[in-house]
Amino acid sequence: MVTIETKQELKCPVTGMLQLIGGKWKPVILYCLRAEKRRFGEISARIPDLSRKVLTQL
């Protein structure tokens, strides 16, 4: 089981991971980076719906 900072136990590890990672775009970016390092422009090109401003802030 995953324990979150609030000490709430979750039965689903995926739910726990999403709570730890948080945000709309972070899981998508992590998926993009799963195999190798990518430059800022490569990430931006691979996720066209993600604005460059939001990517910079993450």
Residue 16 domain flag: no
pLDDT band, residue 58 (cuts 50/70/90): confident
Q: CA torsion angle for 29, 26, 45, 50 (degrees, to 10)?
A: 160
Residue 5 domain flag: no
**Burial call 19-39: b when 16+ CB within 10 Å, e when fewer:** eeeeeebeeebeebeeeeeee
Task: Provide the residue range defining the domain that includes 47.
Answer: 23-58
- Average pLDDT value for residue range 40-48: 92
Residue 51 domain flag: yes
pLDDT band, residue 41 (cuts 50/70/90): very high
Residue 29 domain flag: yes
Number of domains in the chain: 1
* Integer Cα distance of 18 and 36 in angstroms: 21
pLDDT band, residue 12 (cuts 50/70/90): confident
Residue 10 domain flag: no
Question: pTM to 2 decimals?
Answer: 0.61
